[in-house]
Amino acid sequence: MKTTNLLLKIVLLNILLFSQSIYGNKLVTDLQAGQNPQSNKNFRMDIMGGFGLPDFLHGGLRAHLGTNYRLGFTVGSLPMNNEEEGVFTFSLDNYATLNRNGKPAKNPWYFRFGVNYIRWETEREITKDTHLNFSFGKEVAIIDLFGFNIDAGLNIPINHKEERKVPETSSWFDFDIYEPAVFPSLRIDLYFRF
């Protein structure tokens, strides 16, 4: 458990440092000079919501911290029929937009990479999963302050934990096909920018 937590912290730190070193030089320079990054004319915030896998129904915030770099998070869930069942998701995402000639594009292509946490509770067990997410997508501005983005990519599981609520029963039909090495991700979001 301690090794997994340490590995997760190292991966998160590397993702943040990598994205800052390549895409956030203006932000780092502003912070070192004691300037507020919000005074940067490129700083904007998005309120977003949508549907995705493994994010399910989700909402969140995304900050534009420079011409090419965005940092966001989402919190999600999925409606269930039973009160004892539920899904909770949390995602921390880095966005690196692709711009031509260093100028911001109105409808940029982007890479999204980050970490997803999923807690799935059923009548029999609680499952907790952590994944690395790597996606490629497109943002489409309908008007300057409103639009949508869609991306697709891969999730790579890095941690899986199950807690049984009831004793396991054996059956000749029991088998577990859960743990794929890699599985697809898809996200569609609407956003409002301010």
Which residue is associated with the tokens 């067990």? 125
Rounded Cα–Cα distance for residues 182 and 117 (Å): 15
Burial string for 118-132 (b: 16+ CB within 10 Å, else e) reads bebbeeeeeeebbbb
- Mean pLDDT of the 141-150 span: 93
Strongest mean pLDDT among 65-69, 157-161, 163-167, 174-178 = 157-161
More confident residue, 9 or 168: 168
Q: How high does pLDDT run on average in the chain? A: 79
More confident residue, 3 or 139: 139
Rounded Cα–Cα distance for residues 112 and 152 (Å): 9
Rounded Cα–Cα distance for residues 183 and 154 (Å): 6
Query: Per-residue pLDDT tens for 90-130?
Result: 999 999 988 776 666 788 899 999 999 999 988 888 999 99
Q: For position 71, what pLDDT does the model report?
A: 93
β-pairing verdict for 109-121 and 146-164: unpaired
Query: Per-residue pLDDT tens for 168-194?
Result: 766 665 555 556 678 899 999 999 998
* 131 pLDDT higher than 60: yes
Please give the model's pTM, rounded to 2 decimal places.
0.74
The domains of the chain, with CATH numbers, are: 2-166+175-193 (2.40.160.20)
Rounded Cα–Cα distance for residues 71 and 93 (Å): 6
